[in-house]
Amino acid sequence: MNVIGLNAFHGDSSACLLVDGNMVAAAEEERFRRIKHWAGFPSEAIKFCLDSQGLTLSDVGIIAINSDAKAARAQKVKFLLSGQASLALISEKLKVRKKRKSIEQYLEEYFPKQVFSGKVEYVEHHKAHLSSAYSVSPYDSSSIISVDGFGDFASSAMALGKGGLIDIHKRIYFPHSLGVFYQALTQFLGFPYYGDEYKIMGLAPYGEPKYRDEMDEIVNQQLDGSFKLNLRYFLHHKRPIGYEWDDGVPLVGQLFHPSLEDLFGVPRKPDQKLTQKHKDIARSVQDCYERAFFHMLNSLHEKHKSELGENHDVLTIAGGCGMNSVANGKVHLNTPYKNIYIQSAAGDAGGAIGAAMLVHQKFHSKESSKSVMSHSYWGPSFDNDHLKGVIEHYQEDLISQGCDITFDLTTASLVDKVSDAIIDGQVIGWFQGAMEWGPRALGNRSILGDPRRHDMKDILNLKIKRRESFRPFAPSVLREQVSDWFESDAEVPFMMKVFQIKEDKRSQIPAVTHVDGSGRLQTVTEQSNKRYYQLIKSFFEKTQVPMLLNTSFNENEPVVCKPEEAMECFMRTSMDVLVLGSHLIIRGH
């Protein structure tokens, strides 16, 4: 049985494909549309998933979507009767629902020559999130938590996963949301765009949590392990805030109430200089989120520890807030959980997997449904002949730019030449194999540099990235060397946790050491990504440093998907080297 899972009409629209319960393909729509966080119906991602296996819609038995309008009806009625919601807010919700076409209508529009005769199944948003974490984890039993903005009227859900089955015991409903709290304060600090929260994580280490009391006024921890927002400081429950989710960039209106100025003064404008006060507020936001999150997790552990037995320290995390890698890296220090799994697309995109796994279980595997995700390489791939053809198409322009082109290098020769270029301070575009699933570049669509150079961040920002100077770059580390360099020996294949770098090592790798001595870790094994592992190992043998600086292959756009996009990025920037498969392009200087 073939099952397609969808995240549609949310930011980071996506699709995945299960064949007999095993995932075989997955991708986010933004990579094909070339619009960050694209929201709407993921038609191009569906096409990729089908084409990757030589299938059409007629071969698909079920399409599962990670949203169910029928969910939380009692809670919705209760909220309406409470008088908190304005007529304008209710009207907006009804207009959005009426405007949206059905899944069947979208399929007819985008696949006019194909016939889908299967079922469409709707899965409650947070149940899909929970499944997306647990059902692809290596653990038979675990606590599970999902935390995000909102989905199907809830912002959080907590559950027990055991024997492949998920038992949800608690949800936190609208209007209370840690995701909305973080997003509202992100807006207040002058970062208005959907997905800007990661900038607050990067800025926070430059400040101190001086506004802890003010944050406790905004987010109130509850005795049962949950939290409540002080709604005086928010607008999302009172009036339409302009969510736009259809066929483009997701746009969100102002979430914070002007009364927030009573606590922090005037909001920062996007073009205003960042002051120490802004940095202290950012640190206080992150601190508040962490304390609320750990409070939830400690309550969750207390509930599950007897049922989980020897697995009482196992946790799986999902939801948009599951992308908070700083908090994730501190879970083992602040809760009893020591074994923590977060898949590479923890946010809304990953809900496609959870929805697909749950409907497969419902119709074909009543007792359990699990398919361990040990790598993230589920997107489009291109063989060496195709890559060579792309280079030949651009060859005249490359030669005019003084580029030297070498085709069909052996892996040994390729990694030797590229590691030498990295040691020489050059910036490398590294395009290999299948595209990563999720927002992180993990060695197949990456830009690489020397972590030892003090000036590497400046070089990258000048030549390619052009991003805020306070944002850190991440290290990709040989798995067996992690404990020598980090205050942890965790396996982190998807770059979802930040750990402290050992104090005596920080001066050796300044380009990947953040201001607080931390690094967002990616562990690399030969089994998961052989060529990338061999490149890092070649660099290690020459420098005694077992890691590379790794950032996403893009320039203010979605991560590149196709080799043509990698080539265009190389040609319009000052990147020094481009590697497409086994082919090497070196720019003349």
Exposed e or buried b per residue across 378-403, where buried means at least 16 C-beta atoms within 10 angstroms of its C-beta: bbbebeeeebbebbeebeeebeeeeb
Does residue 411 sit in the same domain as residue 555? yes
Does residue 354 sit in the same domain as residue 391? no
3-state class of 399 per DSSP? helix
* CB hemisphere CA count around 166 (13 angstroms): 31
Does residue 360 sit in the same domain as residue 449? no
The pLDDT assigned to 94 comes to 64
3-state class of 307 per DSSP? helix
The pLDDT assigned to 368 comes to 55
Does residue 559 sit in the same domain as residue 470? yes
Does residue 394 sit in the same domain as residue 358? no
At residue 370, does pLDDT exceed 80? no
Read off the pTM. Answer: 0.96
Does residue 352 sit in the same domain as residue 496? no
Structural domain count, the chain: 2
At residue 284, does pLDDT exceed 60? yes
Last residue of a domain, one of 364, 396, 423: 364
pLDDT digits (tens, 9 = 90+) for 459-483: 998 889 888 889 999 999 999 999 9
Contact 205, 514 (CB under 8 A): yes
At residue 240, does pLDDT exceed 80? no
**Banded model confidence at residue 242, pLDDT cuts 50, 70, 90:** low
Does residue 577 sit in the same domain as residue 516? yes
d(CA 556, CA 558): 7
Structural domain for 575, as ranges: 384-586
